[in-house]
Amino acid sequence: MGPMTATPAPTPATNRPKRVLLAAPRGYCAGVDRAVIAVEKALEQYGAPIYVRHEIVHNKYVVQTLERKGAIFVDQATEVPPGNIVMFSAHGVAPTVHEEARQGRLKTIDATCPLVTKVHKEAVRFAKEDFDILLIGHEGHEEVIGTSGEAPDHIQLVDGPEDVAKVEVRDPSRVVWLSQTTLSVDETMETVDALKEKFPQLISPPSDDICYATQNRQLAIKELAGQAELVIVVGSKNSSNSQRMVDVAKQAGAPAAYLVDFASEIDEAWLEGVTSVGLSSGASVPDVLVQEVLEWLSERGYADVELVKTADESLTFSLPKELRNRDLRAEAAALVESE
């Protein structure tokens, strides 16, 4: 018998090099970037205050930063004094809100994401063709309220597969589904499959409603989840796309996944026995917040950062037309004077 060779013992988890797997793409999408720049540009062109109906995007840091620059966030356009400028958020609004602003003698800047506008237009078109529209989304979300307002008599909300049983339509051969843009792709298709089982002639929208950025961030988080023992998503609790990223990470096999607004919210206990941390951020999150988390992790030994890239993003949107060669401040004042 030849000499015996010892099998090397596996490296204990605690001795493995600590690393961060950083998702790409992550953070700001084109619609959010456009909306935030629109507020900054409006303040620069027209001066403070610029009123914004609801949070321009769902991110605490962004809202606080814009407030310091002179933006005033309100729940309804009716709260804005006549003769002022009000901006509509990236999530979109119903036609009734445009009418409220007109009645309130306000000038408006519409920062609705063009991908949300596309869903609004689809809703209007299918309603004109007298379809029943099944809108997959979360009840109470601003985007869902805005889309539903385009054709309230034709749209019913389906908040997940469990809602399908109670859906009733006038004609099963004239039914179409639309979707909130920030959902989990997998969960949406689960709802669509359940709807198709009930309504075999269900029509799909002409193109995917779930936005490219949401899909890309979910794909990247799936890739991270397979390699990391802990996944951290930077984003606000009221951000639907950020919440879905945490859900996707868990479904893809991450032992633990958490949503935080800031590095200071990370619990050091989460790092116990962890050598690989996956890190990403929602579509409404500026990268400065991700950099703060990277610094926080580096101070605790996670200095090795590896980029996990699953897609390239180059899409940009032009700014709202109301910011081009107009003096909205003068136009708003004229509305009051003409009374």
Angle, CA of 49, 55 and 56, to the nearest 5°: 75
Which H or E run contains 231? strand 230-234
141 annotated binding-site participant: yes
143 catalytically annotated? yes
The answer to whether the annotation marks 191 as part of a ligand binding site is no
Is residue 276 marked as binding?
A: no
Q: Which of the following is catalytic: 55, 100, 122, 143?
A: 143
Q: 319 by DSSP, 3-state: which? A: coil
Distance (Å) of CA 52 to CA 41, 205, 327, 331: 13, 31, 18, 18
**284 is known to lie in a ligand binding site:** yes
Report phi then psi at 291, rounded to 5: -60, -35
Residue 10 CB neighbours (<10 A): 8
Annotated ligand binding at 154? The verdict is no
**Residue 112 is assigned to a ligand binding site:** no
Tell whether residue 318 is among the known ligand binding residues: no
Q: HSE on the CB side for 94, CA within 13 Å?
A: 15
Is 241 annotated as a binding-site member? yes
Annotated ligand binding at 78? The verdict is no
Query: What gap in Å lies between CA 55 and CA 23, rounded to an integer?
Result: 26
Confirm whether residue 211 is marked as ligand binding: yes
Binding site for isopentenyl diphosphate: residue ranges?
A: 58, 91, 141, 239-241, 284
Binding site: residue ranges?
A: 29, 58, 91, 113, 141, 181, 211, 239-241, 284
Give me the active site residues, please: 143
Binding site for dimethylallyl diphosphate: residue ranges?
A: 58, 91, 141, 239-241, 284
Binding site for [4Fe-4S] cluster: residue ranges?
A: 29, 113, 211
